[in-house]
A and B are shown apart, each in its own frame.
Chain A
Amino acid sequence: MRPSRPISAFYFASMLTGAYLASGLFVFPRELISVGGAEAPWAFLLDCAAALFGLWLWFQVNHLYPDEQVSGFTSRIVTPVLGWPLNVMTVITHVLLAVWATVNFGLVMITFFLPDTPLWALETLTVVVGLYMAWADTRVLGRTIQALFLPTGVLSILMGLLLAPRLTQAWAIPPSGDVHLPTIALAAYQSFYLFWGYEVTVTLYPFVSQGARRQAERYAYIAMLVAGAFMAFGYILIVGTSGPYMVMAAEWPGVSAMRLITLSSFLINKLGLFVVLMWSLFVFIFVAMRLWCLAQDLRPALGLQRPQHYRYLLVFFAAATLVVSHLFTNITVTGRFFNEWMVPAMALFNFGIPPILLLGAAITRRRTKVSMRAP
């Protein structure tokens, strides 16, 4: 395997978007509505703003050592005593994120499509496809993601438009004028899973060719805004067709709403279901990005620099994802676990670690300057 060639700004933005888009695809906007009530749209906007800010924070970490991955320089900034736990936390986070997407997708499939198919078969399929996508080098993964994005996104939007005549519960779409900041903040916090995964930037950034990094950052922000608009479109359709109480009652509100799309005269009359199946591509991309990130992230930390080490790590983490996925047998347990443990852990990871690293770097630099000045 050849060492990875640098990627362009556009590849970077696509890969970064692919790394978080599938995270909330099936569950959105249940928590937003059940916690936020009529103020859910404000909470969604807060989520988008927080994700943009979070992305900016990780970019600041990348600016410390633009050519190195974070696992390579954490120990240098905050000493190995803190650096190693941080690396372990990164690994656990990414494995759990891959599990989150794999389990959710498997459960959607056995609930709506293939009730007799064992869950492990669907999970294995997801992870193996993810593994296959990440198998070649970074550029190939980027190109695959770019090629899959456009048709799936465009088809989802076109199909979504077919739901427009069914917007009978449109009264639930506009936000309430009665603003309670704690409710909005809590709803935004609970549904921040929408953007879980954008922290992949910290590993992906050094792969961008040096001249294109500023542009890559700009594209990443724009892509996040577009993803936010895509989600807002989904919010309007789901809440407008189902009404807020049905959204709270459904395990996967988006899938339930898409199932309503039928075109009786078309070859595939259940077009909505076809789109839900196409969303599996987003899930494969998400899992592939997690595996890619895990394997790339650990290489400098473990000193595994030979190209084939990347694939050994990929297979190891794919296996780990499958093993952990087997622990989650139904959506109630999975939802509860991720709501109670993963939501705070991810908030801490995304908004706690970058400031620590930035602060650590500031102190280290000052110390370096002082020690340089001292003699």
Chain B
Amino acid sequence: MRHIRWWRSWNRRAAWQRRVLALAALAALSPTLAGCWDNRPVDARDLVLAIGVSPAPHNDVTVSLAVPTSAGLISGTSPGSGAGGGSSGQSTYLLQGTGPDLGAAIAMAQAYTNKDIYLGQTQLVLFSHRLDATQFGHAVSWLARLGPFDKTAYAAVAEAPVAKTLGYQPVSTRIGPMYFLTLFSCTHCQTANLARTLWSLEMRTVSPGMSIWLPAIDTRGPNFVVRRVVVFRGNTAVATLSPSQTLALCYLMAATSKATLSVSTPAGRVGVRAVRASRFNSVTWSHGRLHVHVTISVMAAIDQLAEGAVNPAIVLDVEDAVSRRIARQTTKVMALLQRRGSDPEAYGPSVFWNWPALRPHWLAIYRRAVLSVSVSTVIHNVGDST
């Protein structure tokens, strides 16, 4: 009885059409049952954690890809995988290739492995400080054009050779490149937040007048050391700032979280901590010159007094001394950047976005600009004991 009813309904034109459509839809969707065309089992993939780009002879580039071993993956994801991790063997290995561009170099690296090189999980892109402007520009453009590549990966400059930096084994983590994921993703964990993503790098590459800056990674200690930045003009690195200059630049960019200062006051040396700055940039064009005035507001806590108790006079003295110190440091850094033609705070684009005629002469205008800083400090925390 049931099958006769089915046959009748099959005979009805509308139901027939519905079935044909359902079958057609099933046929069309069947290829997607196994995932997509791009689907590869994870054990057939080399999940790249970090990419290093360095120059090679004959104007070529060498690409170094840090890939975790299966032992490294397990130790890196299991709880308590601190120093040593307890498991034996290497946690990462390097795949390297050299070619006229990144694509050719990665194709060469692919020849050294039996798995599919997959860049979608990359956490860090490391540029050698020896890359020239053209190579650096090509590398950024290549990475930017690679659609599935994750642009929230962090970018940095290696002060030591790239391969050595990527293969470096810090004491605090088994998988070297993962160190930077923890370091850069916590915005208020560091003295100053030096995290740069590939996205911000790409944005600065295509935006005229917006200079690139990248943190520099040093491997001379038991862990990576990150407290200096490299500033660029266009795609050329023009200066590596010292740690104190880096901190001054971070005041200008409102990127400090827990900076410390030691200032001289009439009451002796006073330590100040938790220095956080916010800033307001006023960029104006008057009398044929550019005027950049940065107003920095600083909040800080008194950390250590030479002697005696805290009183209002000392607080005022400390506020004054901190303001003067930060103003002096930031003015010096601004002047240095101006001399080198680097504008990491991007004062320019906000001006010539509204006055496009100024854009072609921007570097000359910036070098003649009148730069000034005013700092006001508020001590909001003097500690518990007086």
Contacts and interface: CB of A to CB of B under 8 A. Distances in A.
Interface residues of A, number: 37
Interface in A15-60: 37-38
A321 to B, nearest CB: 15
A249 B28 contact: no
Nearest to B146: A115
A246 B206 contact: yes
B148 A115 contact: yes
Contact of B147 (A115, A128, A244): A115
Interface string A238-281: 00001111101100000010011010100000000000000000
Contacts, number: 76
Contacts of A332: none
Contacts of B185: 264
B17 interface: yes
Nearest to A107: B147
A246 B152 contact: no
Nearest to B152: A262
Interface in B2-28: 13-14, 17, 21, 24-25, 28
B168 interface: no
Contact of B206 (A112, A121, A176, A245): A245
A124 interface: yes
Contacts of B197: 260
B148 A243 contact: no
Given A1-B14, A112-B147, A117-B37, A242 B354 contact: no
B148 A113 contact: yes
B199 interface: yes
Contacts of A171: 349-350, 353
B80 interface: no
A176 B151 contact: no
Main secondary structure of the interface of B (DSSP, over half): helix
Nearest to A170: B350
Contacts of A114: 36-38
A221 interface: no
From B17, B36, B356, residue with most partner A Cβ within 10 Å: B36
A60 to B, nearest CB: 39
A117 B38 contact: yes
Interface in B31-47: 31, 36-38
Contacts of A337: none
A197 B31 CA distance: 32
A178 B354 contact: yes
B350 A259 contact: no
Contacts of A242: 203
A283 interface: no
A125 interface: yes
A238 to B, nearest CB: 12
A176 B37 contact: no
A246 B37 contact: no
Given A37-B356, A117-B38, A176-B354, A259 B207 contact: no
B206 A249 contact: yes
A243 B152 contact: no
B353 A246 contact: no
A371 interface: no
Nearest to A168: B200
Contacts of A244: 207, 349, 353
Contacts of A219: none
Contacts of B36: 114, 116-117
A249 B199 CA distance: 13
Given A171-B350, A178-B354, A245 B21 contact: no
B210 interface: yes
B202 interface: yes
A243 B203 CA distance: 8
Contacts of A172: 349-350, 353
Given A121-B31, A135-B21, A38 B354 contact: yes
Interface in A139-182: 169, 171-172, 176, 178
Given A38-B354, A171-B349, A243-B349, A260 B151 contact: yes
Nearest to A311: B17
Interface in B183-208: 185, 197, 199, 202-203, 206-208
Interface in B253-298: none
Contacts of B206: 245-246, 248-249
Contact of A245 (B14, B147, B208): B208
Interface in B176-230: 185, 197, 199, 202-203, 206-208, 210
A118 B37 contact: yes
A308 B24 CA distance: 18
A43 to B, nearest CB: 15
A245 B148 contact: no
A125 B197 CA distance: 34
A316 B208 CA distance: 49
A107 to B, nearest CB: 10
Contact of A132 (B21, B350, B356): B21
21 contacts: A38-B354, A110-B147, A112-B147, A114-B38, A116-B38, A117-B36, A117-B38, A125-B28, A172-B349, A243-B207, A243-B349, A244-B207, A245-B206, A256-B151, A259-B152, A260-B151, A260-B197, A262-B152, A264-B185, A308-B13, A311-B17
Q: Which 8 A-B pairs have the closest CB atoms?
A: A245-B207, A111-B147, A171-B350, A249-B206, A117-B37, A116-B38, A246-B203, A116-B37
Interface of A: 1, 37-38, 110-118, 121, 124-125, 128, 132, 135, 169, 171-172, 176, 178, 242-246, 248-249, 256, 259-260, 262, 264, 308, 311
Given A113-B148, A245-B349, 6 more contacts: A115-B147, A125-B28, A135-B21, A171-B349, A244-B353, A245-B203
